[in-house]
A and B are shown apart, each in its own frame.
Chain A
Amino acid sequence: MVLDSGDTAWVLVATAMVMLMIPGVGLFYGGLVRKKDVVSMIGLSFLALALVSVQWVLVGYSLSFGTSVGGFVGGLDFLGLRGVGIDTGDGTIPDLLFMVFQLVFAGITLAIITSAVAERVRIGSFIVFGLLWTTLVYDPLAHWAWGGGWASQLGALDFAGGTVVHISSGFGALALALVIGKRIGFGDHDMEPHSIPMTMLGAALLWFGWFGFNAGSALAADGLAANAFVVTNVSASAGALAWLFASWVRGKPSALGMVSGAIAGLVAITPAAGFVDPLSALVIGAVAGVLCYRALLFRVGRGLDESLDAWAVHGVGGLWGAIATGIFAVEAVGGVSGLLQGNVDQFIAQVIGAVAAVVYAFVVTYALARAVDATMGLRVTEDEEYVGLDISQHGEKAYA
C-alpha cells in the first residue's frame, strides 16, 4: 500500500504521547509511596522504558509480530529489526513507525507492573525480571492479540491493549506481589501517599497520553481514530465521577479516588475504543470506576500488599473492558457487533481471550518471579528497605 502522510504524522505524534505516559506511571506511583522511595519509583518506570526499548529492537518486536509459530509466539524473522523498513508494510504507515508505536506499549506495560514491588525491590533483580517478563509474558500476549496469534484467529478483539497491556500487567502484578511479599510494617503502620499532587500530575499525563494510546491504535488519522478519542475521554470522565461518588458514600469525596477512577475508565475503554459508541463508553467507564474501587477495597481487606493497585485498576479494569467489548460492540463503529446486538459468539471469544490472558500472565509471572527470587533475591535487606530505596539503591534523595 501507499504511505499516507496524514496517517504517518498522526501515529508519529501518538507514539510520542504514549511514551510520555511511562514517566506518567512513574509520577502516579511516585506520589503514592513514602518520600524515601520516590526516586526509586519514578526511576523504575524510566528503567522499564529503556529496558524494553532495547529488548524490543533486538528480539521483542520479532517475537510479537514475526511469522506465527503455532499461533503462540512470533518467529525470529525480524530479529534486530531485519526487514523492518522505512517504506515497507501493508498499511499506510512505515513498518518502522508501526514497530516503535508498539514499542512504547511494551514499555508502559512493564512500568505498570512495578506497582507490585514498590519500596522493596532490588534494582538489579528488577532488570533481570523485567527483561524475562517482557520477553516471556508480554511478547507472546501481544502476538496472540495483534501479531496473528490464536486469539486474533478466534476473533477476540483488543483494540488498543486491554488484554495485552492491562490484564497482563495487572494480573502479573498480583502474582509478583505474592512472591515478593508485603512491605515491612504493612498493615501495622500508616503508609500514606507522600504527595497526592504528584499522583494527579501523573494521572494528567496518562489521560493526555491515552488519546495517543487509543486513537493512535486506529493506525490512521480517520473517523475510527476520532471515535476512539471521544470514547476514551467519555469513559475516563465517567470512571472519575463513579469512583469519586463511591468514595463519597464511605466518607469524603477523594481526589485520589477521582484520578484513580479516571485511570480505571481509561483502562476499561482501551480494548473497546474502536468498537463502541460514546454512550456505551459512559456505561463502561462508570462500571469500571465502581468495580475497580471495590477491587481495591477487597485487596486491602485481604491484607494483600499489591502496593499501588495495578491489579485492582489495570487487571480488573482490563478484564471488565475485554468483556464489555463483547457486550457493547456495534457494527456501525468497528464493523463488529456484540452481545447487545445479538452476537453471542463475539462475547464468548472475548471471555476466552481475556481468561486465557489472565491465567497465562498470572502463572508465568509467578514462575519467573520465583526463579529470580531463588537465584538473585527480589528483595532488598530489611535495613535497606527501612532506610528507603532512594538511598540504598541509588544513593540519591528526592527531597534534600
Chain B
Amino acid sequence: MMKVEAVIRPERLEQVKKALEEKGFVGMTVSEVTGRGEQKGIKLQFRGRTMEVDLLPKVKVELIVKDDLVDDLVEAISTAARTGKPGDGRIFVIPVARSLRVRTGEEVM
C-alpha cells in the first residue's frame, strides 16, 4: 500500500481529477499549498530591478493505492498535470503502514 502525493499547478487540478476518474481512481485528498522548486519561484524584471516571487500557489493531491496500481497512477497524474514548463510540480510515493476506516474501525486494503 502506497501514498502517492503530487504537488501540481492549481490550474491543472480539473484535468488531473478527470484523468484519474477515467482510470478508476476516485478517493483523494486535495489541499491548497504554496511552495517552490529548484528555480526558486519566478523572477520578474522591472526596469532593471529583479523581483522574486518565491512561493507560488500549488495544489497537493494525495491518494492511497495498492502497490501494483502505483505506476499507472503516477503516469496518469504526470500526463494530466504536465505543461512542459518549470513549475509543473513533483510526485512522491511513500509506503503506508496501515489504513483504517473511521466509521467502522475496519482495516481497508
Contacts and interface: CB of A to CB of B under 8 A. Distances in A.
Interface string B55-68: 01100000000000
24 contacts: A36-B57, A185-B11, A188-B11, A189-B11, A189-B12, A189-B14, A189-B15, A190-B11, A190-B14, A381-B44, A383-B42, A383-B43, A383-B44, A384-B44, A386-B42, A387-B42, A387-B44, A387-B53, A387-B56, A391-B53, A392-B44, A392-B51, A392-B53, A395-B51
Contacts of A387: 42, 44, 53, 56
Interface string A183-221: 001001110000000000000000000000000000000
A391 to B, nearest CB: 6
Contacts of A391: 53
Interface string A362-400: 000000000000000000010110110001100100000
Interface in B7-34: 11-12, 14-15
A384 B42 CA distance: 9
Nearest to B11: A189
A395 B51 CA distance: 9
Contacts, number: 24
A190 B59 CA distance: 14
Interface residues of A, number: 13
Nearest to B15: A189
A387 B43 CA distance: 10
Given A190-B14, A392-B51, 15 more contacts: A185-B11, A188-B11, A189-B11, A189-B12, A189-B14, A189-B15, A190-B11, A383-B43, A384-B44, A386-B42, A387-B42, A387-B44, A387-B53, A391-B53, A392-B44
A386 B56 CA distance: 10
Interface string A251-270: 00000000000000000000
A188 B13 CA distance: 12
With most chain A CB atoms within 10 A of its CB, the pick from B14, B43, B44, B57 is: B44
Interface in A85-143: none
A188 B12 CA distance: 9
Nearest to A383: B42
In the A-B complex, the 5 residue pairs with the smallest Cβ-Cβ separation, listed nearest first, are A189-B11, A387-B53, A383-B42, A392-B44, A387-B42
Contacts of B51: 392, 395
For B14, B15, B53, B57, the residue with the greatest tally of chain A CB atoms inside 10 Å of its CB is: B53
A182 to B, nearest CB: 14
Interface in B83-101: none
A381 B57 CA distance: 18
Contacts of B12: 189
B48 to A, nearest CB: 15
A381 B43 CA distance: 11
Interface string A159-188: 000000000000000000000000001001
B18 to A, nearest CB: 11
Contacts of B11: 185, 188-190
A188 B56 CA distance: 20
Contacts of A190: 11, 14
A189 B51 CA distance: 27
B41 to A, nearest CB: 8
Give the most central of A36, A185, A386, A395: most B CB within 10 Å: A386
Contacts of B53: 387, 391-392
A185 B44 CA distance: 20
A189 B43 CA distance: 24
Contacts of A386: 42
Nearest to B53: A387
Contacts of A392: 44, 51, 53
A397 to B, nearest CB: 10
